[in-house]
Chain A
């Protein structure tokens, strides 16, 4: 009985998606919205297949930018969280600014970065680093600070050094925070990459988007939108997969 319910729940979103695709196809078929503005799903798939090599080439560039930006952002975020956790005055001085800075839309500085660093990969990586750095730093710090003080006392009575305290207690205790921030950062990273490519660049999915936009190729536009969404979902899924591998104890029933 229970199994059947689970299957139904798993199938529901797929059914909704199929229904939406069907409605979309019908709208195009009966020309309720002109086909050049809203191409049918079939046409979008055709555009995707035709442009597949080009899309993959551009996706490669976007993913490479995402990778480097994320890597630097995550390492930087973790490091700054450790430094702020170690030095309380620094924490008090910088933490409110860190939280406040998250309200600034980092994408708004994309044009400035292009002016500073040119049309290559660097401004994209810098923007991704900036957008991914803050969620990781704030969440890691929250994780460090949320460590049970009694646990810290216990470790001290065992004679734990500062670094052992991080290794055995603070890091593992912050892993949940880390992975939830990483999921946010991954989707931010893709968006930042695409937006900075819009502003200026030679290749990447953002550049492809501006080109097909100027050509009024709506079918290709839809294809690339779906590709970007799929990449974002794929990366989030990958993070979840790594999380399950790294934190096997989470699967143990409480």
Chain B
């Protein structure tokens, strides 16, 4: 079932068209990437889907209901973890619940059992600046999960991490996704990350940017150990690099 869709989205900034006729679809439980080079308009598209920007044309649908220009419909995470340095990790992850009007006590009770699932045991009372980059990113993901929405929008969430940490977080995220059944729209410029994590990849390219290709990653291949070292992985990579 199509959970999230965009219909013919376009956007122009001061006579310069950035996005043209963007149609994408995210189904229940899927992880779909939008892959494009830096500066192509990925974040503009992301902000339109999040309701922070108005498209010039087109609409965003969540379960067939229009959510264009509406914030607070999807969970949202950026490259920067944006953890508030003056709140503990617990104080940070319950923010989405507090904004919805949930009491602190109820929000904390809801978040507490999730700390283990997100690999954040014993960090509840610590401040973000005392944690490593990988842990901060996991805390930001837990906060994203606490939005309690069916769709997560992630804008290059792992790109600030070093290669080794990124590798660990990727594996962990895939495992987590299968447990919590979160549908994710991931925006990235990292080809390998897109292949590793996604069920499908939309290639965003051209001027103005449009979806030029949709690539489906074989789920059986993805399950193989050392998928990222296999020839099929390299084939995907070659195909994508040729398109970008």
B47 touches A (CB below 8 Å): yes
Please tell me which stretch of B74-82, B115-123, B186-194 contacts chain A, meaning at least 4 of its Cβ atoms lie within 8 angstroms of it. Answer: B74-82
Contact, CB under 8 Å: B72 / A254: no
Contact, CB under 8 Å: B100 / A252: no
Q: Chain B residue with minimal CB distance to A157?
A: B76
B85 touches A (CB below 8 Å): yes
Residue in A156, A172, A253, A254 whose CB lies within 8 Å of B86? A172
Q: Chain B residue with minimal CB distance to A148?
A: B82
Residue in B71, B80, B86, B147 whose CB lies within 8 Å of A247? B86
| Distance (whole angstroms) from the CB of B89 to the closest CB of chain A | 12
A105 touches B (CB below 8 Å): no
Considering the chains assembled together, what is the distance between the CA atoms of A171 and B72 in angstroms?
Answer: 22
B51 touches A (CB below 8 Å): yes
A53 touches B (CB below 8 Å): no
Residue among B50, B75, B82 facing the most chain A CB atoms (10 A cut-off): B82
- The count of chain B contact residues (Cβ–Cβ below 8 Å) is 26
Contact, CB under 8 Å: A158 / B129: no
Residue in B47, B95, B127 whose CB lies within 8 Å of A168? B95
Contact, CB under 8 Å: B130 / A155: no
B180 touches A (CB below 8 Å): no
Question: Chain A residues with Cβ under 8 A from B95's Cβ?
Answer: 155, 158, 168
B52 touches A (CB below 8 Å): yes
Given contacts A148-B82, A153-B47, A154-B76, contact A249 B129 (CB under 8 A): yes
Considering the chains assembled together, what is the distance between the CA atoms of A157 and B47 in angstroms?
Answer: 10
Given contacts A151-B82, A154-B78, A252-B130, contact A159 B52 (CB under 8 A): no
Question: Chain A residues with Cβ under 8 A from B29's Cβ?
Answer: none
Considering the chains assembled together, what is the distance between the CA atoms of A156 and B53 in angstroms?
Answer: 12
B216 touches A (CB below 8 Å): no
Question: Chain A residues with Cβ under 8 A from B164's Cβ?
Answer: none
Size class of A's contact patch?
Answer: 20 to 34
Considering the chains assembled together, what is the distance between the CA atoms of A252 and B83 in angstroms?
Answer: 14
Question: How many cross-chain pairs have Cβ atoms below 8 Å apart between A and B?
Answer: 65
Within A150-183, which residues are at the interface with B (CB < 8 Å)?
Answer: 150-151, 153-160, 164, 168-169, 172, 175
Question: Chain A residues with Cβ under 8 A from B74's Cβ?
Answer: 157
Residue among B74, B86, B147 facing the most chain A CB atoms (10 A cut-off): B86
Residue in A159, A175, A247, A254 whose CB lies within 8 Å of B99? A159
B96 touches A (CB below 8 Å): yes
Residue among A158, A168, A254 facing the most chain B CB atoms (10 A cut-off): A158
| Distance (whole angstroms) from the CB of A122 to the closest CB of chain B | 38
Q: Chain B residue with minimal CB distance to A164?
A: B99
Considering the chains assembled together, what is the distance between the CA atoms of A56 and B26 in angstroms?
Answer: 74
Considering the chains assembled together, what is the distance between the CA atoms of A150 and B86 in angstroms?
Answer: 17
| Distance (whole angstroms) from the CB of B167 to the closest CB of chain A | 25
Question: Chain B residues with Cβ under 8 A from A150's Cβ?
Answer: 78, 80, 82
B221 touches A (CB below 8 Å): no
Question: Chain A residues with Cβ under 8 A from B84's Cβ?
Answer: 151, 168-169, 172
Considering the chains assembled together, what is the distance between the CA atoms of A5 and B98 in angstroms?
Answer: 47
Question: Chain A residues with Cβ under 8 A from B87's Cβ?
Answer: 172, 249
Contact, CB under 8 Å: B76 / A252: no
Q: Chain B residue with minimal CB distance to A252?
A: B127
Contact, CB under 8 Å: B52 / A175: no
Contact, CB under 8 Å: A155 / B99: yes
Residue in B51, B86, B130 whose CB lies within 8 Å of A157? B51
| Distance (whole angstroms) from the CB of B210 to the closest CB of chain A | 25
Contact, CB under 8 Å: A158 / B78: no
Given contacts A150-B82, A159-B99, contact A254 B52 (CB under 8 A): no
Question: Chain A residues with Cβ under 8 A from B82's Cβ?
Answer: 148, 150-151, 154
Q: Report which B residues bind A (CB closer than 8 A).
A: 47, 50-52, 71-72, 74-76, 78, 80, 82, 84-87, 95-96, 98-100, 126-127, 129-130, 147
* Sample of 11 more A-B contacts, CB < 8 Å, known A151-B84, A159-B72, A164-B99: A151-B82, A155-B95, A156-B52, A156-B72, A157-B51, A157-B71, A157-B75, A164-B98, A168-B84, A172-B87, A254-B129
Of all A-B residue pairs in the complex, the 3 with the closest CB atoms, nearest first, are: A159-B72, A158-B99, A157-B76
List 8 A-B pairs, Cβ < 8 Å. A153-B76, A153-B78, A157-B51, A158-B96, A158-B99, A158-B100, A160-B99, A168-B99
